[in-house]
Structure 1
C-alpha cells in the first residue's frame, strides 16, 4: 500500500530534524497544532505555536525545561503500572476542540521522544470505548503502536523493533483514506490498509497517559520518558 503524504514534515525536513535537532518546518496552510515544548522550568501552559490557540495545561508533576543534546523537552517520571493512586499531575491536557478531531481528513501526528521504559500511552484523544472514536500512540514492550478507531473500524500498526534505548527518535503516525502508517526516524516501518471512518469525540488531547482512569479497573498507562515536541497536521484544515 502506498500512503498519501501529508505536509507538515517532508522527507527532507525529517532528515534535518534528525541531524540538527531543530523544530519541524510547517506549512501554515496545513499545520493544525504545534507544541515545541520549549517552555522554561516552572511553566504550566504548553504553548501552541501554530497560532490556532490550542494551548495545554502542564501537570505539576511534569518536568519542564529539560535540556539535552541542544533540545528543550518535557520529562515524565516512571510510575508503576496499574498501581493506585492516580496521578493527574503527570499529564499535559489540551482541552477538547472539534478542530482537533481527525474527522474524515488525512491526519498526521509527529513527535520526538526518548525512553528507557517499555510501556505507556504517549498521546491520545479519547479512550478505547468512547463515543465518536479515538486515536493514540503508545509504546508497549518498547515498540511504538499507532491506533485509530473510527466509525467503520479500528486500525492498529506496530513497530517491528523497540526504541526504548534512551536515544531520541522521531515518530510519525498518519491516518488517510488508504489506511494507517507509522514512520520512525524518517522511515516507514509499519502500515495497514483500510478506512477507519470519521473520528470525532468530546475528549481532550492527553499527553503522558489517560485522562480518565482509576488504576484499578482502568489503568492510567502513564508514559515514562522525555518528549521534545508534538505536531499535528492535516491535508485540508476545513476551516
Structure 2
C-alpha cells in the first residue's frame, strides 16, 4: 500500500520506504527520507518489563505485569492483553504498556501515522493512544468498539474519526494504519484503504504518556479504562 507517498509503509514486519524528501526532526531517516519516530516490535522474552524502541531513538517503555510478553502465535511474537470486564472496578494500571511523554511522540503540526498489527476475538478497548478526550493539547488513538477499528485525531482545529468497514475481531492478524495529514485522515487495513475523511485537526501536543492497552487516567466508574483484549505484534509511529 502506498499512503499518498508520505511515509514508510509497514506490512507485516517489513518496512518499505516510499517517502521522498527530507525527514522531520523527530526521527532518523531511512534511505528514502522517511522518519520513524518509534517502533515497538514487542519481541521481548516472557516476563520482560521493558518495551524496546527498535528505531534507535531510545523511547523505551514499561510493560505492566499483567501484560503477557513473549507470546508466539502464527509466526509472530508479541504481547497478550487478557480480557477485563468493561467499566467494572478496580482499575488495572498494570494491564498497560506505557512510554513516558516525549515531544517526538506528539504529532504537533506534522503529518503523522500510527500502525499496529493486532489479533483479537473481542470487541472493545483502546489499542494505542496519547492523551484522552478532554485533555489540553489534543489527543490521538486507535480503538476497536464492536470489533470495528476506529482512528481519532483531535487538535486545535478540530477532531476527525475514521472507521474500518469490516469487523476485525475474527481471531486473525490484521495490520491497521492510520495517517493524519494536514487536510484529513486515512485508515488502511491489510494494505487496503478502508476510510478517508477530509478536514483539519491542527496542532496536537500533550504531556501524557503513550499508552498501549487502555487509558492511564480512569476509575472504571465515571471514566472507563477501555482495556484492550487480544494480541499485538508491533506498534509503529511515523512523522514528517
TM-score by length of 2: 0.91
Q: What does residue 185 of structure 1 align with?
A: 190
Task: Give the structure 1 partner of residue 174 of structure 2.
Answer: 169
The Cα RMSD (Å) is 1.4
Q: Is the counterpart of residue 220 in structure 1 residue 220 in structure 2?
A: no
Partner residue in 2 for 1:52:
57
Give the 5 Å matches for 1:148-163. Answer: 148-163=153-168
> Are 1:179 and 1:193, in contact at CA under 8 Å, matched by a contact in 2?
yes
Structure 1 residue 160: deviation in Å? 1.5
User: After the TM superposition, which residues 1-239 of structure 1 pair with which residues of structure 2 at under 5 Å, given as runs?
Assistant: 4-9=4-9, 14=11, 17=12, 22-25=13-16, 28=30, 29=33, 30-235=35-240
Q: Secondary structure at the match of 1:160?
A: coil
Question: Per-residue CA shift, 1:70-111, capped at 9, x if unaligned?
Answer: 110100000000000000010001000011100000000001
Q: CA deviation at 1:23?
A: 4.1
- For residues 154 and 187 of structure 1, the distance between their equivalents in structure 2, rounded to whole angstroms, comes to 23
The CA distance in 2 between the partners of 1:5 and 1:133, in whole Å, is 26
Runs of 5+ unmatched residues, structure 2: 18-28
Instruction: For 1:71 and 1:197, locate their aligned partners in 2 and report how far apart those are by CA, in whole Å.
Output: 36
CA drift of 1:191 comes to 0.9
Deviations 1:135-168 (Å, cap 9, x if unpaired)? Answer: 0000000000000000010000011110100000
Q: Following TM superposition, where does structure 1 have runs of at least 4 consecutive aligned residues deviating by more than 6 angstroms?
A: none
Normalized per residue, the structure richer in strand is: 2
Contact 1:54 1:94 in 2 (8 A): yes
Contact map agreement 1:121 1:210 (CA 8 A) in 2: yes
Cα distance, 1:25 vs. partner? 4.8
Count residues with an aligned counterpart: 225
Cα distance in structure 2, aligned partners of 1:164 and 1:214: 26
Cα pair 1:56 1:95 within 8 Å, conserved = yes
Q: Which residue of 1 aligns with 2:26?
A: none
What secondary structure, in the 3-state scheme, does the structure 2 residue paired with 1:117 have? coil
Query: Is contact 1:121-1:221 (8 Å) kept?
Result: yes
Of Structure 1 and Structure 2, the greater helix share is in 1
Q: What CA distance in whole angstroms lies between the structure 1 residues aligned with 2:122 and 2:178?
A: 20
